[in-house]
Each structure stands twice: as structure tokens, then as C-alpha cells.
Amino acid sequence: MKWICTLLAGIVLGFTAQAQRAAGLRVSADGLGGLVQFPLRGNLNIEAQANAGGIFSGTGKSYTLAGLLKSWVPLPDKSWSFYFGLGVHGGVWDPGYVIEGDNIVYRATEIAPVAGVDGLAGIEYRLPGSDLSISADYRPAINLLGRVDYFPHNAFGIGLKLYFD
């Protein structure tokens, strides 16, 4: 997990000098997070997220960092863009339960490290004449290290970003 954190830190620090940076918040049904975004080339950018999941529900808790490579597709109305991408996440997760056979058994908190891959698809609306944008996206994730499983926290989200030109 240390190599994932080192990779994410290197990506973030390596692109801080780029123009069109953005910072914002992403809220989901079960959690929230902060994000920073840096352009790479053309319609590609890197987004780093720090997320807290499960804080609004009783399905366990998670604290993760994610790094996403995003591609933007401008729509005919320049205020709208579609985006999609892939990334990785790492952090800690307590699912709040254990599956034994066909039964879900609840237990005391047991936080474990996790790391995995993420997908991303969404749409963004940049307010005309403003540096603000609003987005809605789906970010499914699968843990490949720790408890190998679909990672349910922060999958659907609404975001608010402030662009820095």
C-alpha cells in the first residue's frame, strides 16, 4: 500500500505547475471527499481524491485516497462535458460485517488495509462566465488487496469544483 501512496503523491506533485487546475468536493449517499484536478495533455487530466465512506450509513467505514486518469469529451454546448476514466485507490476499510456461507454476521470494528482499481463515468456542467462546475458521476471500485470485493463506498457522487486559470 505504501507504493500506491507514493505513486499518488508523485502524480499530484508532478503536475501542480499545470494550468486549469481545479479543487472541489464530492458528496455521495454514504460519504464525502475532497479532490484536486490537474490537466495532462489535450483532453486528459489527473484527479486525486481523499474520501471518507460509510459515514452517513451503518454499512461500515472507509478512508481512501484515489488517483484517476480522466478523459474529457466536450459536448456541442461547451458548458457540458462527459468524462470517463480509470484509476487506483488505497486506504482502510471496515465493512462492518463478515459473510459466512449465506449469512451476514455483524461484528466489532476490524479495520483492514485495502487497495484496488476504480472506473469512472460522469457529466459536468461548467457555469457560464464562472469558474464553478457541477458534476454527477459513477465510480465503481473493486478491492484487489485486503478484502477482495466490490467496494461500495462513494460509488455515485455529486461534485462541485472551482477552476483556477
Q: What average pLDDT does the segment 15-22 reach?
A: 56
Q: Which residue, 142, 2, 22, 6, is CA-closest to 83?
A: 22
Which pLDDT score, from 0 to 100, does residue 48 have? 96
Identify which has the larger pLDDT, 75 or 54: 75
Average of per-residue pLDDT values in the chain? 82
Q: What angle (nearest 5°) sits at the alpha carbon of residue 160, between those of residues 159 and 161?
A: 120
Q: What average pLDDT does the segment 20-42 reach?
A: 92
| Beta bridge partner(s), residue 90 | 65, 115
2-164 CATH, one of 3.40.1390.20, 2.40.160.20, 3.20.20.70, 2.30.30.60: 2.40.160.20
Q: What average pLDDT does the segment 50-72 reach?
A: 87
Q: Say whether pTM exceeds 0.85.
A: no
Identify which has the larger pLDDT, 59 or 75: 75
Q: What average pLDDT does the segment 107-114 reach?
A: 74
Q: What average pLDDT does the segment 16-27 reach?
A: 74
Residue 72 CB neighbour total at 10 angstroms: 16
Cα distances from 135 to residues 69, 152, 162, in angstroms, run 16, 20, 12
pLDDT over 60 at 129, yes or no: yes
Task: Categorize the per-residue pLDDT at 148 as very low, low, confident or very high, splitting at 50, 70 and 90.
Answer: confident
> 3-state secondary structure string, 68-125?
EEEEEEECCCCCEEEEEEEEEEEEEEECCEEEECCEEEECCCCCEEEEEEEEEEEEEE
